[in-house]
Amino acid sequence: MSALMWFRRDLRVSDNRALHHAVAAGGHVFAVAFVTPVQWQKQDESPAKLSFWLAGLQELAGRLAELGIVLHLAEVPDNAAVPAALSRFAREHKCETLYFNREYEYYEKQRDEAVVKAMQAQKIRTFVCEDRLLVEPGRLLTGSGGYYTVFAPFKKSWLGLLPRADLAPLPVPKTVAAPSPAPRLSVAEISRQLGLPGWRSDLWPAGEAAAQKRLAGFAGGCLEKYHELRDLPAVDGTSCLSPWLTCGAISPRQCLAAIRHEPEKCPAEGSGAEAWLNELIWRDFYTHVVVGFPRVSRSQPFQKKTVALKWRYDESDLRAWQSGLTGYPIVDAAMRQLKQTGWMHNRLRMVVAMFLSKHLLIDWRLGEKYFMQHLLDGDLAANNGGWQWSASTGTDAVPYFRIFNPFSQSQRFDADGCFIRRYCPELEPISAAALHDPKKLAGEIAKKRISYPTPVVDHKFARERALAAFKTL
């Protein structure tokens, strides 16, 4: 009996439920992954993220080889071609079963449903495992049987379920055959053909081993002060695990296990571990929203009334935002961080998202798309949820009248200007006080003859314009 394991966003051998069950069934195990360049382009997958995924796939191939499992890499244009390709592979290798871990987004669900039908036609049994979240969609519903649309009651329900949930990470599966040399995947050739420029491997080395090392370092280091440091972009105070979580080089169960000293209990209230657990719950929440309200996967606002919002389109303003040339130092530094590293600090994601959607009154979907095209950790659910929260169009959204003042945000979270100067080196001669005050900033720029743009819009004017637009709804 032979089984086929289909890898997607689960590039690890430890705590991989589909792989665990495929091996546990006995018999030979084949593994396959697909490169889908046309689909990737359609879904705005960033070159950095794809490079990171391919490199992680290469590492995975080596780990699977140690278990006696060969990973095959095939290229098809898009999701529509996957069912036929999988069927062909299963026939050629005489596979009787197919295992994979569930994905929840619109295009991925369509693909997987088509795969199941194709396997049924061949009388191949398909096993779909819940692996990507701590609590799978459908287990937490409101009293009326619907999906939660507000985070606070979702979290309460989630925490209530936690002591009873089986969230212990699974070990590495047993060896199924004699270890073999890792296959020579055509990762480098694929990267060249697709024109992928690579990613900051010095910051985020690809693969499961690197993810485990990062988690251990975080849990044994700044986790204790995470609640105090997580909003400070100049400080290494967050886990930075999101790229590995997105490609599945590490699981959320492994993350949870690393911060829970007692499996049946939640972390202590007010602790860094509790604050980080909150981020894991948000991750679940936004994916539940995608499942419960699939329109958000298709560029639709959650709050239907906001469809009528009169967004501006100003190419010059949009380009200034994308390029980090808005004249607002914290916004510009954050956008340059994204471009240079493929990642952005979470506090700053809110700041720049609100700046685009509120200060510039530019459609949040343009920002969502730009983020996906550049983020190493681009996840549709989390990215969409964050953008809609900031734009006041989503579930549990910030009230429309709440509009971050970027100068106040930088004063609060980057008081000495260390982060700003790191990514806006032209502002090195500017005093810390001036970095957080538009009048002082303009004065010092003029006095020191620094080349830096004037603000693209006045904060007070922008706020009033945004409020007026939302009040028409």
The answer to whether residue 386 sits within a structural domain is yes
Q: Any idea what DSSP says for residue 34?
A: E
Reply yes or no on whether the pLDDT at 263 is more than 70. no
110-163 tens-digit pLDDT: 999 999 999 999 999 999 999 999 999 999 999 999 999 999 999 999 999 988
**Residue range 195-218, pLDDT digits in tens:** 898 899 999 999 999 999 999 999
Q: Are residues 142 and 158 in the same domain?
A: yes
Give the chain's mean pLDDT. Answer: 95
Q: Are 395 and 387 in contact (CB under 8 A)?
A: no
**What pLDDT does 261 receive?**
67
- Residue 86 contacts residue 119 (beta carbons within 8 Å): yes
378 and 360 part of one domain: yes
Helices (H), 208-251: 208-219, 226-229, 242-247
Residue 34 pairs in a beta bridge with: 74
Out of 292, 313, 344, pick the residue that ends a domain.
292
Same domain, 415 and 389: yes
pLDDT at 397: 76
Range of the domain at 71: 2-131
Q: Do residues 261 and 142 both lie within one domain?
A: yes
Distance separating alpha carbons of residues 368 and 466, to the nearest angstrom? 19
**Are 350 and 418 in the same domain?**
yes
- Catalytically active residues, by annotation: 279, 282, 311, 346, 364, 387
User: Do 308 and 432 belong together in one domain?
Assistant: yes
Give the end of a domain, one of 131, 159, 181: 131
Q: Tell me, what's the pLDDT at 211?
A: 98
- Three-state DSSP class for 471? helix
Q: Is 65 within a domain?
A: yes
DSSP letter (8 states) at residue 230: T
Instruction: Give the E-state strand segments of 84-202 in sequence order.
Output: 97-101, 125-129
CATH of the domain at 458: 1.10.579.10
Q: What is the pTM of this model?
A: 0.96
Instruction: Indicate if the pLDDT at residue 75 is higher than 70.
Output: yes
Q: Is the pLDDT of residue 325 over 70?
A: yes
Q: H helices within 342-427, ranges in order?
A: 346-354, 364-374, 380-391, 406-413, 418-423
